[in-house]
Amino acid sequence: MIAGLSVARWAPYLLILLVIPAVVAIWSWRSGTDADEAGLTVRALLGSRRIPWSDVAGLVTDDRGTVSAQLNSGRAVPLPAVGRADLPRVVEAAGTEINPR
């Protein structure tokens, strides 16, 4: 952002470029997944989604180690900031039996 400010002094129309690092900073601060006894809360840049454990059929990992919640409807919801190593803590937070796959 400091470099962007110095460039914007010479070309004020480039001030719009300062929006990009601001959006990335807000996204990285806001996005994530919370797990508790009631369910999962998946947060993104502009909103969040609450998923009760009764809607979760299992937790699925892919080859890259990212985790998704497989819903009873067949849809998969990616869980931001949750990796394969975090699965035991997510299951523990559920306080019930979840099928990690």
Per-residue pLDDT tens, the chain, 101 aa: give them.
666 667 767 777 777 777 888 888 888 888 999 999 999 999 988 889 999 999 999 999 999 989 999 999 999 999 999 999 998 888 888 886 655 55
The domain segmentation of the chain, as residue ranges, is: 1-30, 31-101
Least Cα distance to 64 among 45, 50, 78 occurs for 78
Q: Are 32 and 43 in contact (CB under 8 A)?
A: yes
**Helix (H, G, I), strand (E, B), or coil: what is residue 70?**
strand
Q: What is the pTM of this model?
A: 0.71
Please name the residue that has the structure tokens 């460039």: 7
